Amino acid sequence: MLFTDRADAGQRLAEALRHLAGEKPVVLGLPRGGVPVAAAVATALGAPLDVIVVRKLGVPYHRELAFGAIGEGGVRVINDDVVRRGGLSPTDIATVERAEQAALVRQAEQFRDDRPRLALDGRTAIVIDDGVATGATASAACQVVRAQGAARVVLAVPVAPADTVAWLRTQVDEVVCLSTPVLFSAVGEWYRDFSQTSDEEVISLLKA
C-alpha cells in the first residue's frame, strides 16, 4: 500500500479507527512526522490532539540500544534487564537521563507553546506515528502514555514490518496498522511524498 503523503495516511488510518470514536479518545502524535498523520485522525474522529514527547535513554556506548525512556510529568520507564546486561552504573543512568531530560523539556516547550499537556487519566489514548521500523520509540511512547494514566493504549500506524507489529501487540491494548509489507527497509519508501515535517508545521497543527 502506497500513501500519497502523511495527511492521506492519516485519513485512511482514521477509517480504521472509527470503532474508537465512541470512547472519546485523545489522539497523540509522535514528533515530528507522526503529528500530521495524527492531526488528520483527530479531525476525522472529532478528538483532541496533542503531541507525545518521549526521549529514549540509550546505552552510552551503543546509543541505538535503549535501556528506558522518559516522558513529560516526570515519567520514566527503565528496562532493568538491559541495564544489567549493559553493566550500567547509577552514574551512567543519571548522566544519560539528565541530558535527555533537558532535550525533552526543550522539545515539549517548543511544540506546545505554553499550552498544558492534555490529561490522559482514565482515557483511551491513540498513539500515532507515520510508520515504525524497530518499534522502539513507539513502544517507549506507549509505556509513557500508560504511566501518565491512560486506561487504554492504542498504537496506530500506516505501515510497519509484520514482526514489529506482532511484538508491539504484546506491549499495548490494540495495534492498528494498515500495511505490513513483507519487504520492508524504510518507512519513507511507502510514501510518495515523505518530505521532512518541520517544527513550525507541528506547532501550527497543534494550535489548530
pLDDT score recorded for residue 27: 98
pLDDT score recorded for residue 41: 98
Could you give all domains of the chain from N- to C-terminal order, each with its CATH number?
6-53+118-207 (3.40.50.2020), 54-112 (3.30.1310)
If you average pLDDT over every residue of the chain, what do you get?
Answer: 93
The helix/strand/coil state of 16 is: helix
The cell for 136 is: 522502539
Residue type, 74: G
| Per-residue pLDDT tens over the stretch 23-64 | 999 999 999 999 999 999 999 999 999 999 999 899 998 887
| Per-residue pLDDT tens over the stretch 177-192 | 999 999 998 999 999 9
Name the β-bridge partners of 199: none
| Per-residue pLDDT tens over the stretch 96-116 | 999 999 999 999 999 988 788
pLDDT score recorded for residue 74: 85
From the list 186, 168, 185, the residue with the least C-alpha distance to 177 is 168
pTM above the 0.85 mark? yes
pLDDT score recorded for residue 135: 86
What is the helix, strand, coil percentage profile of the chain, to 5?
45, 25, 35
Report which secondary-structure segment, H or E, holds 85: helix 80-85
- Spatial distance between the Cα atoms of 16 and 192, rounded to a whole number of angstroms: 21
Would you say 161 and 181 are in contact if contact means Cβ atoms under 8 Å apart? Answer: yes
pLDDT score recorded for residue 1: 78
Residue 12 clears pLDDT 80, i.e. is over it:
yes
